[in-house]
Amino acid sequence: MRITGLGHAGMFIETRGGSILCDPVIGPTFFGSWFPFPDNRGLDWEKFGDADFLYVSHRHRDHFDPALMHRYVPKDIKVLLPEYPTEDLENDLRSLGYENIIHTQAGVPLEFGDLKVMVTPLRAPSDGPIGDSSLSVDDGTASILNQNDSHPLDLEKLLGFSHPQAYFTQVSGAIWWPMVYDLPQDAKQNFARLKRDAQNKRAMYYIEKVDAEHVFPMAGPPMFLREELFRYNGLGLDNDAIFTDQREFLDHMKELRPQQKGYLYLPGTVVDLNDGEISVTQSLYSDDEIEHIFGSKWDYLAEQRDSRQDEIVAEEASRAAVLPPDEMLAALKEWWEPLLRRGRIFREGVGGPVRYTIGDLDMVVDFPKAKLREYAGEETSYWFTIPADLVSTNIRDHEIDWSNSIFLSMQFQAGRVGKFNEFIYTFMKCLSRDRIEYVENWYAEQSDVSEDVQLEEWVVQRRCPHLRADLSKTGKIEAGVLTCSLHDWKWDLASGKCLTTQGHPIRSHNVEDAVSRSANAPAVA
């Protein structure tokens, strides 16, 4: 088996039973904000486009590049479609002319001669754009796991496909907060460090659990080449950004797991696997060029920025004309208010008005009343400032996922009083009837009826209130605070209160308190 790195999460897998093109992206994406790091334009895209199968893990535009696919990927290619609860990805692919679609079943292997594959989707509201997935591949000579951006909960089932010799996984995810928030600089630096630490911890959790002999960090970081975002590359010019690069993570992994074999995975990296033997070479960059990319990273990024502004200008020229404030408000009211009326759990979860300043439009989304209106000077706990051309473009394109456009672009500002509110951001990526209804039902089914488990001196519900991870495996307790290592959510065990976001309490009690209550209970005649 041969795996060639295509940049970011992209790869070209050649097996005895056929080839698979995975998540090919050149970009720029997210309103011209993201470019793959390092530059992957020098790859032979004609060759990689001529694959037997296409696998797009999910709809995020750093994994799904319609312009590249239109140019390089033939329309008759067989498409491995993850089993998602809504048909958005399938509709996107069909709109591009891809009709040879293989509907995979969640966690069910498929065989194509010597090639065996399995697509494992995640389908919770917080999983990417309501969906993320991993790809398992085995051809008899080697087995690999392309985990991509997904954070699977049932690793036993996933690894039941086969134990991978090579493991490809995200280590530098797109968690934007705190850079866009109205916070003091020292707070931004502290929260950015905490986010990097959480991402490193999560990546190491999976690396240890999967326990593959060979590990390839991938799926980040991006390059920010817009002038106003350039300072947020990597750790940030002021140490207030969140992206650990591939080489930095490999150094981190070596400290914590020195026996682990890890490899730099870049555009042009070629991994040959055959019956336990491995060879890793580089076909696009020389050793000196790689040293320049990582050893003089800011110089390399500046060179990329200075040479690629024409791509940013072209993206900006493709945006819609800015709508007048009254037309913009009317369009959003017509679109959003019917969805808000269907979203009872969203309305209760947000619990108040959210202010949006969009160019000259100053409006409020009143979640409890399911209404959009002009801002009337009232206090709000959450507020956003978004460029009017981005919103006008999303209205023109009827973009149903504003996370997969505006929020991942980082071309906005936000503020809040109190904790992060998951329901606001989830609503903003559920701007269709299908999505609203699916997520409403998903939340409604999350009342916990799982068994309890004992963790140290505490008894807690087995399933995490966030995304149902098994806390007996992912939970860690320190000073009365439970942390789920998958997404770093935290709970105060004495009260059961979630410390990360509003809502999502946990069922918990102290073992000694329960014993004391039992001992002091009155006798029953």
pLDDT at 126 over 70: yes
Q: DSSP of 225-249, one letter per residue?
A: -STTTGGGSTT-TTS------HHHH
pLDDT at 358 over 90: yes
Q: With cut-offs at 50, 70 and 90, classify the pLDDT of residue 446.
A: low
Neighbours of 290 (CB within 10 A): 17
Select 325-443's CATH number: 2.60.40, 3.40.1350, 3.30.70, 3.30.1050. Answer: 3.30.1050
Token pair for residue 230? 């350039």
- Grouping H, G, I as helix, E, B as strand and the rest as coil, residue 321 is coil
Domain parsing of the chain, residue ranges: 2-312, 325-443, 452-519
Q: With cut-offs at 50, 70 and 90, classify the pLDDT of residue 523.
A: very low
Show Cβ contacts of residue 220 under 8 Å, excluding neighbours closer than 6 positions: 8, 37, 170, 171, 172, 173, 174, 243
pLDDT at 256 over 70: yes
pLDDT at residue 448, rounded to an integer: 60
Token pair for residue 361? 């439009």
Quote the crossing angle between the two packed helices 297-307 and 309-317, to the nearest 10°: 50
List, for residues 97-112, the tens digit of each pLDDT value. 999 999 999 999 999 9
pLDDT at residue 522, rounded to an integer: 42
Sheet holding 382-386, edge to edge: 371-374, 361-366, 353-358, 382-386, 413-416
List, for residues 467-510, the tens digit of each pLDDT value. 667 888 888 889 899 998 777 888 988 888 888 877 778 888 88
Task: Please tell me the distance from the alpha carbon of residue 106 to that of residue 6, in angstroms, as a whole number.
Answer: 26
pLDDT at residue 450, rounded to an integer: 64
Q: With cut-offs at 50, 70 and 90, classify the pLDDT of residue 377.
A: very high
Task: Please tell me the distance from the alpha carbon of residue 182 to that of residue 414, in angstroms, as a whole number.
Answer: 6
pLDDT at residue 142, rounded to an integer: 97
pLDDT at residue 370, rounded to an integer: 96
CATH superfamily membership of 2-312: Ribonuclease Z/Hydroxyacylglutathione hydrolase-like (3.60.15.10)
pTM above 0.75, yes or no: yes
